[in-house]
Structure formats: C-alpha cells, structure tokens
Structure 1
Amino acid sequence: MNDPQKLPCADDFMNQHVEVVTQDMTLTEVIRFLLKHKISNAPVVDQQDQKPVLVGFVSERDCLSALSNELFFGNPSPAQTVKTIMSSHPICITPETELFSIVSIFVNHRLRHLPVVQNGILLGIVSRREILAAMETYYNHSLHTQEHERLLRDTSQALNLRFTIDRS
C-alpha cells in the first residue's frame, strides 16, 4: 500500500487465522463451535495434502434455519450435518482482488464475510469490518497524498461484479 496508485488487495488485510469446520460435524457441534468462538460463520474445509480445501460456508443463519425446522417439523432422517446445511458454492475472492471490487461484492450481495481462496485452498477470510477499516485507511491516505485529486479509474472490473447480464 506504499504506492498511492496501487489499490490495496485482499492479501493486504485478510485474516489468515480462520476458525474452520468440517462437513461431518453435527448441527449441535457446529452451533456450539460458532458460539464458543464467538463467530457468525465459518468456512467448511476438507484437508487435502495438509491444505484446507474450501468446500462450503456455514453461517448462524444456516444453523437457525436447520434448527428451527428440526424443532418445528421433527427430527429429520438422517440427522443434520454441516454438509446438509452449508452453502456449497460460496462467493470467494483471491488474494489479488482489489479493495473496490471487494466493496462492490459486499454491498451488492449483502455478505458479511468472504473467503479468500487460491486454487481451491483457503488462505483467509475478509470481513466487512476489515474492509471498512481498509477503506478508511485508503481514504485518509488518498486525501493526504493526492490533495483531493480525483483519479480516473477503470471501473469495468468493479462494474462487472455489480451486474449480471442475462443474454438469453
């Protein structure tokens, strides 16, 4: 982030110490895990060659839905596990994803966390709070180094993340 023209990327501010869960954890185990670690969601990984491969994402919302359905409708058969309640194809970013692209994803998809993945391997996670802090730092740095100069940027990358065009 020393170069004023270079936008910060996920690699600059992602949290690399991520609490993860596995697909075979029961509903009760994942709820207790989230509560114990005081987190609202967790990446779901499979260990392959000592590396965490991202296979999904589980959230408090997923747990609430599964738990309330189980309590209201009765015990499902087979029992609920992380594999049965997780989001199997979460939106992910790479370490090189630039700050404004990440902001666009957060704002337009109303997410709270994004896994940072490269070649399927989970490297870290970025939260809205970390993005807000990075934006504030970048904003203050920009004010002092660019003297309020407005930079023309290539917005195609960020715009491509905001809209999906149906060509059918």
Structure 2
Amino acid sequence: MKMPSVPKTDELMQTGIHSIEPETVLADVVSYLTRHRLANVLVIRVEDGKKLLLGYISEADCMEHLSNELFYGSPMPIQTAATIMQKHPLCVTSDTDIFVLSSVFISHKCRFLPVVDDKHLLGMVCRSDALKALDQYYRQWVRLHDQERKSIDVHEIMNHRFLVRS
C-alpha cells in the first residue's frame, strides 16, 4: 500500500469567505462581525475581477478603536476598515503542505489563514480543517505501517541463538 500525497492548502481551503471593503466605516465593521458571528474579517479590494487582500480586522481591533473613540472623542477622519485594519496579514499559498500549515498555526496561535497567490485572495483555511486533514493523513500512515509490521517468529530467533558450529 502506497502512502497518499501530503495534503495541501488548496484541498482544505474554503473559497466562500466573508470580507469587507476598505471604505467600510467602523460601526459597519462591528455590525458585520456581530451579524455574521465572526471573530475576524478580511479587508479586500476587487481589481480586474480578483480579490486583492489588504489586511484584516479582529474583534479586538474594533473594541480598541470603539473604546478609544468613546473615551477620547471622534477622530478625524472617520475610522474605516482601511484605517483600523492590520496590514500585511500572515498568509499561506495554495501549495503549502499540511506540515508547514500546522507549524504556522501552532507558532502563531491563529485560527485561520488567508490563502493567497501574489496578494490575490484565493480562500481561507481554518485550523480545525487542517487538524481533520492531519488526522486523516495520520490514520492512513498508521494503517500502512501496521500492515508492514510482521509478527516475530519465535522459532527463528531461537534457532539463531542455538547455532552449532562444527
């Protein structure tokens, strides 16, 4: 039995993802997150029919900017997704294998990663989907290696032990 190929991001990613435009005002970003029950949202701009990833906004980012605005007063200009987003998000490519993907999820303690091709957004991969794929790959590996194991022939071991030389 041959081991299947190592799973890659393109097999795991979801293409139907939530996103907002950079001009979206802070209040609408918060409404979008709460309405869709999201912890994060990607900020994109569509250029030539492709989604260009600009950054992302987390619930914590929104809390920070809302509380600052309430405490210090309204800033000028008005806060938008472009002004509050975290630029240069950590991303992976569609050919990233499950081991690199696992390492990134573990090292950076993130729950999702955007999948890009030269800053163009292709989809999103979730840590839980990566875990499922890694578990399936592990189970296949165990089945393969269990079949390769052989029972120990006790008679053969005993015969080697008592070889008589003349």
Considering the TM-score relative to the shorter chain, is it more than 0.5? yes
1:38-53 mapped onto 2 (5 Å cutoff): 38-53=37-52
Q: Tell me the residue number matched to 2:33.
A: 34
Q: Tell me the residue number matched to 1:17.
A: 16
Question: Structure 1 CA distance, aligned partners of 2:18 and 2:91?
Answer: 16
Question: Structure 2 CA distance, aligned partners of 1:70 and 1:7?
Answer: 48
- TM (normalized to structure 2)? 0.82
Q: Tell me the residue number matched to 1:73.
A: 72
Q: CA deviation at 1:4?
A: 2.1
Question: Structure 2 CA distance, aligned partners of 1:146 and 1:29?
Answer: 53
State the 4+ residue runs in structure 1 displaced beyond 3 angstroms. Answer: none
* Cα distance, 1:118–1:148 mapped onto 2, change above 3 Å: farther
Q: 1:113-162: CA deviations, max 9, x gaps?
A: 1100012210100111111222222222221123298xxxxxxxxxxxxx
| 2:135 counterpart letter in structure 1 | E
**Contact 1:142/1:148, CA 8 A, preserved across alignment:** no
Q: 1:42-62: CA deviations, max 9, x gaps?
A: 111111011111111111121
Question: Structure 2 CA distance, aligned partners of 1:53 and 1:97?
Answer: 19
Question: Structure 2 CA distance, aligned partners of 1:96 and 1:80?
Answer: 36
Q: Tell me the residue number matched to 1:83.
A: 82
Q: 1:19-72: CA deviations, max 9, x gaps?
A: 111110001111111111121111111110111111111111211111121122
Q: Percent identity?
A: 37
Q: 1:91-115: CA deviations, max 9, x gaps?
A: 1100000111011111111212110
Q: Tell me the residue number matched to 1:139.
A: 138
1:94 aligns with 2:93: yes
| Secondary structure in 2 matching 1:144 | helix
Q: Tell me the residue number matched to 2:62.
A: 63
Question: Structure 1 CA distance, aligned partners of 2:109 and 2:71?
Answer: 28
| Secondary structure in 2 matching 1:147 | helix
Highest CA radius of gyration, 1 or 2? 2
Question: Structure 1 CA distance, aligned partners of 2:71 and 2:140?
Answer: 53
* Cα distance, 1:148–1:13 mapped onto 2, change above 3 Å: farther
1:146-161 mapped onto 2 (5 Å cutoff): 146-147=145-146
Question: Structure 2 CA distance, aligned partners of 1:105 and 1:135?
Answer: 14
Q: Tell me the residue number matched to 1:125.
A: 124
* Cα distance, 1:81–1:107 mapped onto 2, change above 3 Å: same
| 1:108 counterpart letter in structure 2 | S
Structure 2 unaligned residues grouped into runs of 5+: 149-166
Q: Tell me the residue number matched to 2:115.
A: 116
